[in-house]
Amino acid sequence: MTLAAVRSIDSGRRGRSEAELDDFEQELVDQYALAGAGSGMTDDSIASERFAIVAFARFMGQRIWTATADDADRFLTHQRKTLGLARSTVKGHAGAIGRFFDFLIVRYQGDILAIDGHVVVQPIDEFNRPRRVHLTGVERIPPRDEEVDAFFEVWAAWLPSARKYLPAARDYMAASLWRRAGLRISETVMLDIRDWRPDLGEHGKLHIRFGKGSMGRGPKVRLVPAINSVDSLMEWWFTDVRHQFGDDYRDPDAPLLPSERRNRQTDACFRVGHDALRSGLAIAVGTWLPDWNGRLSPHVLRHYCASSLYMQGMSLKAIQDLLGHEWLSTTTSYIHVHDTHIEDAWAKANDRVAERLTDEAR
């Protein structure tokens, strides 16, 4: 994508002709794209944002800066009901429009008022903003601790007898990283041998180089401490398993989790794919945790990790950093507590009060 050459719109022009207003409207969109490029958005993300903005303007049939919440209501309803677009698509369009109007209000409210006499308002508000999209039929609430513990225990005990030990051990390793460190499946697949840094921190750290970025700004890098027994897991992997895949275990750029397939020219292992890891988990769940068959996915184990660490007393901010979330509100949606959580908290609070009163009475 090539950005159009844009002129400064801070010059206080007072053009009122339709042609001048057309140019001014185009410049606003171009300036927004330019700002996005400056912030690191990818060309595809900029193009997607521009598409949603232009579609909204054409639907309105009037100057885009005159949009109201009613206009947004009609547009989003048209997208969902008339065009039949997916909820996730409509949510993305609403987000693009909302960000564009934030941009107009912050940067060009005064220019628009001077040129057209209109006060810009945000048309995407708390009432018409599409809610968080969840895939139909996917259960994000994870199993209880005792179910997960028993599942991984029997899975680990079975590994030595597996017909294909190496891929079985690799699938178990990946699932354990989702369970204990809350890694995304995409982050797990892209780990290289050099990304394990036992020299960092008390437990060592995993260098996540392909974390999920926001608004197309590319991978978000973070270091994940090897807490929650991840350090022991890594020691087992490198001591007992990884070298059996091939001599490339000495290559720091080789994949941490390899495929059984090899490069015919170099004899090095290819990187394992998402489907293989999903399939490995699904087979294990169907075998040893059948009540969760079709429901316990890699992402649900990520939810389990967040919930488990929270119940152990880890702060939401620490869990946010561990999972690589940009917003704390996202992290809170990952926390699923037991039915007795309120009662347990009440009991603990009463115990603290009783202890304090006892101490004061002494």
- Confidence band (pLDDT; 50, 70, 90) for 126? confident
Q: What is d(CA 87, CA 313) in angstroms, rounded to the nearest whole number?
A: 35
- Give the architecture (CATH level 2) of 145-342: Orthogonal Bundle (1.10)
Across 9-37, average pLDDT: 80
pLDDT at residue number 140: 72
For residue 59, pLDDT beyond 70: yes
Across 20-47, average pLDDT: 90
Q: What is d(CA 157, CA 178) in angstroms, rounded to the nearest whole number?
A: 19
Angle formed by the axes of helices 145-158 and 298-311, nearest 10°: 120
How many other CB atoms sit within 10 Å of the CB of residue 156? 13
- Rounded (10°) CA dihedral 152, 156, 158, 163: 120
- For the chain, percent of residues with pLDDT exceeding 90: 65
For residue 202, pLDDT beyond 70: yes
Q: Which two tokens stand for residue 192?
A: 């290289």
Highest mean pLDDT among 149-163, 260-274, 342-356: 149-163
- Confidence band (pLDDT; 50, 70, 90) for 357? low
Residue from 269, 275, 271 nearest 250 by CA: 269
pLDDT at residue number 45: 87
For residue 348, pLDDT beyond 90: no
The predicted-structure confidence for 155-168, as pLDDT tens digits, reads as follows 999 999 999 999 99
For residue 337, pLDDT beyond 60: yes
Asked if residues 11 and 27 have their Cβ atoms less than 8 Å apart, the reply is no
Output the CA–CA distances (angstroms, integers) from residue 266 to 189, 244, 256, in the order listed. 20, 17, 17
Instruction: Kindly list the domain boundaries of the chain, sorted by start residue.
Output: 18-116, 145-342
Asked if residues 186 and 274 have their Cβ atoms less than 8 Å apart, the reply is yes
- Give the architecture (CATH level 2) of 18-116: Orthogonal Bundle (1.10)
**pTM for this one?**
0.65
Query: Whole-number mean pLDDT of the chain?
Result: 87
